[in-house]
Amino acid sequence: MAKEQAPKKKVKRPTAEKRMIQNKKVQGQNRVVKSKIRTATRSFSASLKENKNDDLVSDLKNVYSLVDKAVKAKLYKPNKANRIKSHYAKNLKRALATS
């Protein structure tokens, strides 16, 4: 018969090492969210340049939604989110006025 293996003992990690592992995981999640925001803002800017008025409003709603979620997750401070939203709203208003 095969030898029975003893159950592995749980290795106790130092707290600092565990914290570093957690930080890397959260950093990756944050990077994904910020990347989605950048992609949405690029899409909005591209719609602005091409004068696609029907896409502008939906793209702006998408940017707003993602930025608000980032505030909720404490990635952005509320004032930064307000600045971003104000900036893009101003661009939308300018684009709609000229067309």
pLDDT digits 0-9 by tens, 33-74: 999 999 999 999 999 998 888 889 999 999 999 999 999 999
What's the rounded mean pLDDT across residues 10-25? 90
State the Cα–Cα distance between residues 59 and 79, nearest whole angstrom: 21
In 1-99, DSSP assigns E strands to none
State the Cα–Cα distance between residues 90 and 3, nearest whole angstrom: 73
Asked whether residue 94 carries a pLDDT value surpassing 70, the answer given is yes
Task: Evaluate if pTM is beyond 0.75.
Answer: yes
Asked whether residue 3 carries a pLDDT value surpassing 80, the answer given is no
